[in-house]
A and B are shown apart, each in its own frame.
Chain A
Amino acid sequence: MGRRGLIIMVAVLVALLGFARHSSDSPAGTSGQDPPAFGSSGSVTAHLKVVPTIRSVTVSPGSVNFHNCTQGTGDTASAGDQMGYPNGICLVGNTGSDGQFPVAVTYTGLAGDVWVSASGAAPDNGGGGWSLCVPTGKPACTGASNQPGNNQFTIMTFAQDVAYYQMLTGDRKCDTEFAASGVCTAAPDEFASVTAHEGIRLIGPAASDNNATAWSVSITWVAEYPH
């Protein structure tokens, strides 16, 4: 090996030593793995919270059944969880001093609005259904005293801290049951979540062309950015 080879070998060794030294250094000059010169080592776990990047709405439970049905006359009067004619009334939950609000609607994320809408009632026999109506509005209820007429029904929500029913239609509406102030803005503290506990009230038709005994309706809540 000549002089030139010796120089190259020394250069390679110096480079390797330098690389090894730099690779053992931590980026900030400290390392949890490097033991201190004296004393014992320790570690701290730091927890970090970040703002949410979604808006969501979650409804629990996913489905419910009506109960406490009242109204109706004669042989077609309501009984228990069976709605009667004309204009039987059924509830999910209860109003009043012993109020129960079994439907939990939870909004999560950045501040936004909560909207709600309902569908027509569909019978389990696949025949004609009932359509939604509104006592004072459109589509209007055609029965006596603005009650639902034939093949019509109304459905509304109620909440603990809100004094009135919110009438639902096929068009989505601001869910005023969501906030006691009568607005539907959901502004969770610390970007966490806010939950509204609600009940449901249904007034059935004066009469039904379809003699099905099991019906279903849908209520959908929508989380959206503030308008």
Chain B
Amino acid sequence: MHLRWLSAGLAIAAGLAAWIGFAGPARASIGVGVQANPVSLSGAAHPGASYALPSLYIVNTGTQAESMSVRVVQRTGTGRAIPGSWIRIGGLSGQLPPKQSARIALELTTPGDAEPGNYVSDILVTGATAHVAGVNFGAAAATKLEFTITPGPPGGSWLSIPGWTWWVIGGLVILAAAAFGWRRSGLRIRVERRNAA
């Protein structure tokens, strides 16, 4: 009698294990989410400058770790297309675990000859897993990226000043301080030329 119950219990346990073993991977899903709000630059940009855009929120809505790729894609509609080379996209270190989110840093660098106007494109986030034979599914999500370029030199942002300018300014300040201190000290250097005769 006990043996029959034991056999039935083992059979149920084996069935559950098999169900979990087969059903788990078969129902694995792949999913990607992205923030609904567009990524917008507060204020206008100018040609020949760099700006930090708001970071992009992404989430893995699937049940397995995914490699996330982020890129700028053109879309039809109003506004100028944003060249992909203008946007520097921060990377993710490794795969994004399931149900986990991350923020991707974005930076806009406009060339000196950028045309003024409204610029609109999409930021597309694509999730990928290891490919197998058969049909592999992918998931992606997109949100809008937009900003405006107005003519004129870049201003208002300390970050837009080239780095060498700071070295020149610093050197001039040090020279001025040295000259001021020398005059206040009262020290004088007198150069004389004496004839040998």
Contact check, B31 vs A54: say whether CB atoms are below 8 A apart. Answer: no
Q: Judge whether A61 is part of the interface by a CB distance below 8 angstroms.
A: yes
Contact check, B34 vs A62: say whether CB atoms are below 8 A apart. Answer: no
Instruction: State the CA gap A92–B133 with chains docked (Å).
Output: 14
Contact check, A62 vs B141: say whether CB atoms are below 8 A apart. Answer: no
Contact check, B135 vs A200: say whether CB atoms are below 8 A apart. Answer: yes
Q: Judge whether B105 is part of the interface by a CB distance below 8 angstroms.
A: no
Main SS at interface, chain A: strand
Contact check, B142 vs A222: say whether CB atoms are below 8 A apart. Answer: yes
- Give chain A residues whose Cβ lies under 8 Å from the Cβ of B95: none
- Give chain B residues whose Cβ lies under 8 Å from the Cβ of A214: 133
Q: Judge whether B110 is part of the interface by a CB distance below 8 angstroms.
A: no
Q: Judge whether B64 is part of the interface by a CB distance below 8 angstroms.
A: yes
Instruction: State the CA gap A200–B135 with chains docked (Å).
Output: 9
Min CB distance, A64 to chain B, in Å?
5
Known: A108-B33, A225-B144. A66 touches B138 (CB 8 A): no
- Give chain A residues whose Cβ lies under 8 Å from the Cβ of B29: 58-62
Contact check, A58 vs B61: say whether CB atoms are below 8 A apart. Answer: yes
- Give chain A residues whose Cβ lies under 8 Å from the Cβ of B32: 56-58, 223
Instruction: State the CA gap A227–B29 with chains docked (Å).
Output: 27
- Pick the residue among A52, A56, A103, A110 that contacts B137 (CB under 8 A): A103
Q: Judge whether A146 is part of the interface by a CB distance below 8 angstroms.
A: no
Contact check, A217 vs B35: say whether CB atoms are below 8 A apart. Answer: no
Contact check, B129 vs A56: say whether CB atoms are below 8 A apart. Answer: no
Q: Judge whether A43 is part of the interface by a CB distance below 8 angstroms.
A: no
- Give chain B residues whose Cβ lies under 8 Å from the Cβ of A223: 32-34, 139-142
Known: A56-B59, A58-B31, A59-B29. A219 touches B36 (CB 8 A): no
- Give chain B residues whose Cβ lies under 8 Å from the Cβ of A200: 135
Known: A60-B27, A62-B62. A55 touches B136 (CB 8 A): no
Interface 0/1 of B16-48, CB less than 8 Å to A: 000000000011111111111110000000000
Contact check, A216 vs B133: say whether CB atoms are below 8 A apart. Answer: yes
Q: Judge whether A65 is part of the interface by a CB distance below 8 angstroms.
A: yes
Known: A59-B30, A216-B135. A224 touches B142 (CB 8 A): yes
Instruction: State the CA gap A92–B136 with chains docked (Å).
Output: 12
- Give chain B residues whose Cβ lies under 8 Å from the Cβ of A61: 26-29, 137
Residue of B34, B133, B143 most packed against chain A (CB within 10 A): B133
Instruction: State the CA gap A60–B142 with chains docked (Å).
Output: 20
Contact check, B143 vs A225: say whether CB atoms are below 8 A apart. Answer: yes
- Give chain A residues whose Cβ lies under 8 Å from the Cβ of B144: 225
Known: A221-B139, A225-B142. A56 touches B134 (CB 8 A): no
Contact check, A58 vs B30: say whether CB atoms are below 8 A apart. Answer: yes
Contact check, B36 vs A54: say whether CB atoms are below 8 A apart. Answer: yes
Instruction: State the CA gap A218–B137 with chains docked (Å).
Output: 6
Known: A63-B136, A222-B140, A225-B142. A109 touches B36 (CB 8 A): yes
Instruction: State the CA gap A56–B126 with chains docked (Å).
Output: 11
Q: Judge whether B124 is part of the interface by a CB distance below 8 angstroms.
A: yes
Contact check, B77 vs A227: say whether CB atoms are below 8 A apart. Answer: yes
Contact check, B134 vs A57: say whether CB atoms are below 8 A apart. Answer: no
Q: Judge whether B169 is part of the interface by a CB distance below 8 angstroms.
A: no
Contact check, B139 vs A218: say whether CB atoms are below 8 A apart. Answer: no
Instruction: State the CA gap A177–B29 with chains docked (Å).
Output: 19
- Give chain A residues whose Cβ lies under 8 Å from the Cβ of B140: 57, 220-223
Residue of A56, A62, A106, A110 most packed against chain B (CB within 10 A): A62
